[in-house]
Amino acid sequence: MTPPSTPARVGIIGANGYGGGELSRLLSRHPGVELVGFSSRQFEGQPFRKAWPNADLEGTFENAQAVTERADIVFLALPNGLAMDLVPPLLAAGKRVIDLSADYRLPPEVYAQWYGKTHTSPELCAEAVYGLPELNREALRAARLVANPGCYVTATALALAPLARAGLIEGSVIVDGISGISGAGRNAAEFSFAEANENVQAYKVAGTHRHTAEMEANLARAGQEAVVTFTPHVAPYTRGILVTAYATPARPVSEAELLELYRAMYADEPFVQVLEGELPTPKAVSGSNRCDVAVRFDARARRIVAFGAIDNLMKGMAGEAVQNLNLMLGLEETLGLPRWGMWP
């Protein structure tokens, strides 16, 4: 597959947050697209480097309209609740949209229940394609509107999907997640260094975190319904998520058999790596679009323990969005996406 002669024109709305910044970095180097603009309300009219001292990109933040007019494909990297108003006119104008927020990830009534807000473009929720290529690849190719998954959700879905596909889960599932602090966004005032350092915190526990609904939807998507108890934690590092998930097997299994399920499901996946002797860690995938997974069996307790690690800003956000873009454009799925990040 070769890049088309005319690269697709892409634009980013909300390029001053972590998702938008990472998108800018990936798309400005992407050989199959042309980055035609980026917007920010906070930085409108200022050079890109004002927001991103690390960047190597000329140009100035514009307003959203200026960017979307020039783009064929629009990435929305905004806080939850804004995309649902912006998407309908974009689709009407013939644009394709990749939305990094939660707005189109769930059916409107489930959205209302978890996000406490009535959806303003509910009719598009059914059309939106959930952007997890490993569970949804074919549908993504033709998508007009992609709902990019949540960060914890991607790691959890890939850690548990082989079990759900094999119908191996009995009863409910426990998901214990640990996130670096970039997951809270760039303006997370409650995570000042001196307060957040030398600590680890659980938050939104016991069935109150919104990603729970999306995790349950993915188990169903993979083949098996199950209730999830999700406990997110935040630890003092910058990038990455590690998920440790627990399931009771529906029938007798061995660790070797479990491993075989994982290997089989992910054999051809460019961005999922099944580890055997080692366990996934965020450091090993930092800066990469890879998700590392592993599975173990605690025979004494008859319990499956599954692990997944991602870079929350790459495979958990901007990298996954670019992977979806590649599918939408018929490009090589790995184009512009590193599998090898930095260590240390």
Among residues 189 and 267, whose Cβ is nearest to its own copies?
189
**Closer residue to its own copies in complex, CB, 72/269:** 269
DSSP output for 264-296: HHHTT-TTEEE-SSS---HHHHTTSS-EEEEEE
Find the Cα–Cα–Cα–Cα dihedral 220, 223, 227, 228, rounded to 10°: -90
Instruction: Give CA–CA dist 66/17, Å, rounded.
Output: 19
Q: How far is the CB of 210 from its own copies (least distance, A)?
A: 13
Which of 108/240 has CB closer to its own copies? 240
For residues 335 and 204, what is the distance between their CA atoms, to the nearest angstrom?
36
Collapsed DSSP state (helix, strand, coil) of residue 102 = coil
In the bound complex, what is the minimum distance in angstroms from residue 184's beta carbon to its own copies? 8
What's the closest the beta carbon of residue 118 comes to its own copies, in angstroms? 22
We find the least distance from the C-beta atom of residue 149 to its own copies, in angstroms, to be 21
Shortest distance, position 128 Cβ to its own copies, whole Å: 25
Which of 100, 151, 253, 284 is an active site residue? 151
User: Catalytic: 151?
Assistant: yes
330 vs 343 by CB, closer to its own copies: 343
Q: Give the Å distances, CA to CA, from 66 to 2, 30, 48, 131, 184.
A: 30, 22, 16, 26, 28
Q: Write the DSSP assignment of 45-99 as a string of letters.
A: TSBHHHH-TT-----B-B-HHHHHHH-SEEEE---TTSHHHHHHHHHHTT-EEEE
Nearer to its own copies, 123 or 193 (CB): 193
Q: What is the DSSP pairing of strand 169-179 with strand 241-249?
A: antiparallel
User: Which residues are known to be catalytic?
Assistant: 151
